[in-house]
A and B are shown apart, each in its own frame.
Chain A
């Protein structure tokens, strides 16, 4: 960082519950949540696929809601709970969506997968038995270029049935 004071000006201590654990970090007022996760914490499972709000690859959960981390300031998450793809496999066991995406080939190149799974996770938490149309709508902001969504839908259906 340049030694002209720019980089320390406007920083504050952020306290968040990240994947179940509380932590504190100094973050700039203008730091985006996606950069906080990737660059400051080192959780690179959350992806950047566009120039802001176009693709859904950065989807994480903020208090159980799926949000684009690239359009969210880190400081807005003060005192709240953030979950990323890295937090889903509790105790090393794959979460049901992760297992289903793996077994049903809901992932090909895998770049959209973390965001897609987080969006699906938010759906299953609020709607444990979604219809096909509900699944399609819940994932409409998450672009995938490999699967044609066929096996993504199959994966979410299988995970829902796995409850």
Chain B
């Protein structure tokens, strides 16, 4: 590994550096997919299923095809190949064939000379569907005799997971307190501000396709385009322009992207597809509605003895990432605390709703929420401080969890200390006026999946560096910068390793014609994997430069280093060589230099041998602890978040400015899920598909967030770094629910904690109290 020794100097200014593409963003120069030059491009539009479940009896596009200005019409007949992100579960067609399984599923598409013509063409398509019984919730889909969405999945179960580690029965037997909770978390959506869009160009002369899209993982898109269009991979080029947020929405190839390519090929030209916000919501692929039944055992002094957990996820109509999501939900019960026994049963259920997928904190968020909420309740019952209970169950790194996940660094204890102190917990908890409360919770997340979904035997990441006669260093990476700052991270890693100012580094990212393949922006893998590959590449380049500089200066290479862009002896001689001159010297007899750096997760980091054991495995977990302060209005049930204190162990902050931005953003996204975000369907019809109906917090709803960085210096991370973008999210909701419990002594079992649910809980509590105070027999 390429870790730096602890205590090394910080590679960047202490506060961090602005994004290398930040000026493009603040000037409006940054071009997102819909901004790309598209004069003369055709306009693509999609016809969608009007029913939740049905058999397609007739689909006639003749009249649409005949309309003047329509250049291409495609249907399911034009692609008989399934696609999907998991090689074992590709059960979706870009355009429905035979059956439709959710309202809004793409059925046909047109490319026309303008939007008006495209809309008229859609209206001319004749679609006849025989409706089938539809299942919009997991109970109905799992009931005996339920109509199957997919013939090969009895009971509409996409995947059932049953894992037992340790001896749960023995664990519960030694507990002083065993409690259970049933927690329900609503489905939520990424709601990234940029709606989906794709620009595809097919050149019939060369039979080549160029696709520009909003993807977070251009490699998966590339694979699925080749599969669905039956084209050689080498004839396809995928480019990622600026992307307006992802949060997991774009980590799998999406139907509209493949459809746009199909249209471009059929039209033998260029097609721009811009989805509306409503269609962007319907495309979905976000966090499923999840029911968690959880049972914990605690000793009187707060030691966890066993955990039993059952999770049911409403997955929607197709597989997508579903198998991974339901596995994550169980796997990440481990790795945060030391638990002697864990039993997990997970069920991913097909329903006639838009398919769910990956969303920030993939799979772990709702389970973590239920776990932390129950732990808080049990701590109260035992009269224990919630911080003390967490401290009682800490892991000691390095270790392996019961399910074979490697924990190599662990800063949770420091995180707890930081937020306990910063929030004034000890003096304030229990002393706030009625209606105000403090709550806390912990969370963690992986720094990249140690086993990639498409296993090819390649390294987990590759970065190329090009050094040319002008002394400039160009880093080529397939890593997708979607606003998280990954290109800036690559620039810092290369500059710091070479010993040059960051301005000397140019980063070219996300173009399959020029940049090495990358697995993209998912599972918070980029800093750990691409960062390590960038350091490896820069070390190789530096070795060449030092050899050339040593030759030029007549020094021993062993004694040379480059600092601040100057090569000089580490002994006290005065002779130095500028970086540009060293570059010129290195190019003699060689010409332009290209070096490659790689990073590979060793097999022992790739999880256990049990079925599904690779999911959850990672080289490093981030750890977070947070405290949330709330005010709750007893008359209206409205919760106001006053303040949040969050400490995150990110190993090492390569760019503290960006790390804080990621921590604040993930805490805030957890707040949205906790307080207000919820998709709603009426007989399968989305009732939430606008940003007016799907409420995300505005600037007025958003509290001050105090973020503290904890640096445990991971032994394998780049400069000791781990992930920082997802780990904090899952802790917010349980900390909020704990704070509401502290404020008003009510237990909330549902997310989001909307005013009506708070009121219901208050009414239930009052009724309970009345019953307790009435003599037996008087109860009504």
Task: Please list the residues of chain A having a beta carbon within 8 angstroms of any beta carbon in chain B.
Answer: 1-2, 6, 38, 43-51, 53-55, 57, 84-86, 88-89, 94, 97-99, 101-103, 105, 107-114, 117, 135-137, 139-153
- Residue in contact with B661 in the complex, picked from A46, A140, A147, CB distance below 8 Å: A147
Query: How many Å lie between the Cα of A89 and that of B21 in the bound state?
Result: 16
Query: How many Å lie between the Cα of A38 and that of B37 in the bound state?
Result: 11
- Residue in contact with B193 in the complex, picked from A1, A55, A136, A139, CB distance below 8 Å: A55
Query: How many Å lie between the Cα of A113 and that of B669 in the bound state?
Result: 18
Asked if B28 contacts A44 (CB within 8 A), the reply is yes
Asked if B244 contacts A110 (CB within 8 A), the reply is yes
Given A54-B691, A55-B193, A108-B665: A149 in contact with B699 (beta carbons within 8 A): yes
List of A residues within 8 angstroms of B705 by Cβ: 148, 150
Asked if B194 contacts A47 (CB within 8 A), the reply is yes
Binary per-residue interface labels of chain B (479-494) against chain A in the complex, 1 for a CB within 8 Å, 0 otherwise: 0001111000000000
Query: How many Å lie between the Cα of A103 and that of B192 in the bound state?
Result: 23
Smallest CB-CB separation from B37: which chain A residue?
A42
List of B residues within 8 angstroms of A2 by Cβ: 68-69, 113-114, 116-117
List of A residues within 8 angstroms of B114 by Cβ: 1-2
Asked if A143 contacts B26 (CB within 8 A), the reply is no
Q: In the complex, what's the smallest C-beta–C-beta distance from B701 to chain A, in angstroms?
A: 9
Q: List 15 A-B contacts (CB under 8 A).
A: A44-B28, A45-B29, A50-B277, A55-B193, A55-B691, A84-B28, A85-B28, A101-B22, A102-B19, A105-B661, A107-B22, A109-B482, A111-B483, A144-B193, A145-B669
List of A residues within 8 angstroms of B68 by Cβ: 2
Smallest CB-CB separation from A132: which chain B residue?
B704
Smallest CB-CB separation from A138: which chain B residue?
B699
Given A1-B114, A110-B25, A143-B691: A48 in contact with B243 (beta carbons within 8 A): no
Query: How many Å lie between the Cα of A38 and that of B664 in the bound state?
Result: 32
B191 interface hit (Cβ, 8 Å): yes
Query: How many Å lie between the Cα of A86 and that of B246 in the bound state?
Result: 25
Asked if B664 contacts A101 (CB within 8 A), the reply is no
Smallest CB-CB separation from B481: which chain A residue?
A109
Q: In the complex, what's the smallest C-beta–C-beta distance from B242 to chain A, in angstroms?
A: 7
Asked if A148 contacts B193 (CB within 8 A), the reply is no
Prevailing SS type, chain B contact patch: loop
Query: How many Å lie between the Cα of A121 and that of B35 in the bound state?
Result: 23
B692 interface hit (Cβ, 8 Å): yes
Q: In the complex, what's the smallest C-beta–C-beta distance from A136 to chain B, in angstroms?
A: 5
List of A residues within 8 angstroms of B231 by Cβ: none
Q: How large is the interface on B (under 10, 10 to 19, 20 to 34, 35 or more residues)?
A: 35 or more
Query: How many Å lie between the Cα of A150 and that of B646 in the bound state?
Result: 13
Within 8 A of A (CB), among B7-34: 18-19, 21-32, 34
Asked if A153 contacts B29 (CB within 8 A), the reply is no
List of A residues within 8 angstroms of B27 by Cβ: 45, 85-86, 88-89, 94, 98
B223 interface hit (Cβ, 8 Å): no
Asked if A50 contacts B26 (CB within 8 A), the reply is no
- For the A-B complex with A44-B28, A145-B190 known, give 11 more contacts whose Cβ atoms are closer than 8 Å: A2-B68, A49-B277, A85-B28, A109-B244, A110-B242, A111-B242, A139-B699, A141-B698, A144-B699, A145-B696, A149-B668
Asked if B245 contacts A51 (CB within 8 A), the reply is no
List of A residues within 8 angstroms of B274 by Cβ: 48
B247 interface hit (Cβ, 8 Å): yes
Given A1-B114, A54-B692, A150-B705: A111 in contact with B28 (beta carbons within 8 A): no
Asked if A145 contacts B193 (CB within 8 A), the reply is yes
List of A residues within 8 angstroms of B277 by Cβ: 49-51, 54-55
Asked if B690 contacts A50 (CB within 8 A), the reply is yes
Query: How many Å lie between the Cα of A109 and that of B23 in the bound state?
Result: 12
Query: How many Å lie between the Cα of A118 and that of B602 in the bound state?
Result: 49
- Residue in contact with B26 in the complex, picked from A48, A117, A139, A142, CB distance below 8 Å: A117
- Residue in contact with A108 in the complex, picked from B190, B276, B484, CB distance below 8 Å: B484
Q: Which of B117, B246, B247, B661 has the most CB of A within 10 A?
A: B661
Query: How many Å lie between the Cα of A114 and that of B27 in the bound state?
Result: 7
Query: How many Å lie between the Cα of A105 and that of B19 in the bound state?
Result: 7
Asked if A140 contacts B113 (CB within 8 A), the reply is no
B642 interface hit (Cβ, 8 Å): no
Q: In the complex, what's the smallest C-beta–C-beta distance from B54 to chain A, in angstroms?
A: 26
Asked if A49 contacts B193 (CB within 8 A), the reply is yes
Query: How many Å lie between the Cα of A99 and that of B22 in the bound state?
Result: 9
Query: How many Å lie between the Cα of A78 and that of B690 in the bound state?
Result: 31
Query: How many Å lie between the Cα of A140 and that of B702 in the bound state?
Result: 10
Query: How many Å lie between the Cα of A149 and that of B485 in the bound state?
Result: 17
List of A residues within 8 angstroms of B21 by Cβ: 110
- Residue in contact with B245 in the complex, picked from A6, A45, A89, A146, CB distance below 8 Å: A146
Given A48-B34, A51-B690, A149-B699: A105 in contact with B658 (beta carbons within 8 A): yes
List of A residues within 8 angstroms of B24 by Cβ: 110
Q: In the complex, what's the smallest C-beta–C-beta distance from B275 to chain A, in angstroms?
A: 10
List of A residues within 8 angstroms of B18 by Cβ: 102-103, 105
Query: How many Å lie between the Cα of A117 and that of B29 in the bound state?
Result: 14
Smallest CB-CB separation from A54: which chain B residue?
B691
B175 interface hit (Cβ, 8 Å): no
Q: In the complex, what's the smallest C-beta–C-beta distance from A44 to chain B, in angstroms?
A: 4
Query: How many Å lie between the Cα of A152 and that of B193 in the bound state?
Result: 15
Q: In the complex, what's the smallest C-beta–C-beta distance from B149 to chain A, in angstroms?
A: 29
List of B residues within 8 angstroms of A44 by Cβ: 28, 31, 34-35
Query: How many Å lie between the Cα of A139 and that of B699 in the bound state?
Result: 6
B633 interface hit (Cβ, 8 Å): no
B776 interface hit (Cβ, 8 Å): no
Smallest CB-CB separation from A118: which chain B residue?
B28
Asked if A49 contacts B195 (CB within 8 A), the reply is yes
B278 interface hit (Cβ, 8 Å): yes
List of B residues within 8 angstroms of A46 by Cβ: 28
Query: How many Å lie between the Cα of A43 and that of B692 in the bound state?
Result: 26
Query: How many Å lie between the Cα of A6 and that of B485 in the bound state?
Result: 46
List of A residues within 8 angstroms of B660 by Cβ: 105, 151
Asked if B193 contacts A143 (CB within 8 A), the reply is yes
List of B residues within 8 angstroms of A97 by Cβ: 26
Query: How many Å lie between the Cα of A47 and that of B246 in the bound state?
Result: 17
Which are the 6 A-B pairs with shortest beta-carbon distances?
Answer: A45-B28, A109-B483, A148-B668, A111-B244, A110-B25, A85-B28
- Residue in contact with A152 in the complex, picked from B29, B194, B667, B699, CB distance below 8 Å: B699
Query: How many Å lie between the Cα of A152 and that of B704 in the bound state?
Result: 12
- Residue in contact with B698 in the complex, picked from A57, A94, A143, CB distance below 8 Å: A143
Q: In the complex, what's the smallest C-beta–C-beta distance from B23 to chain A, in angstroms?
A: 6
Q: In the complex, what's the smallest C-beta–C-beta distance from B332 to chain A, in angstroms?
A: 23
Within 8 A of A (CB), among B89-147: 113-114, 116-117
Q: In the complex, what's the smallest C-beta–C-beta distance from A155 to chain B, in angstroms?
A: 9
Within 8 A of A (CB), among B230-253: 242-247
List of B residues within 8 angstroms of A136 by Cβ: 699-700, 702
B759 interface hit (Cβ, 8 Å): no
Asked if B278 contacts A102 (CB within 8 A), the reply is no
Q: In the complex, what's the smallest C-beta–C-beta distance from B177 to chain A, in angstroms?
A: 36
Within 8 A of A (CB), among B244-278: 244-247, 274, 276-278
Query: How many Å lie between the Cα of A144 and that of B669 in the bound state?
Result: 11
Smallest CB-CB separation from A111: which chain B residue?
B244
Query: How many Å lie between the Cα of A101 and that of B661 in the bound state?
Result: 12
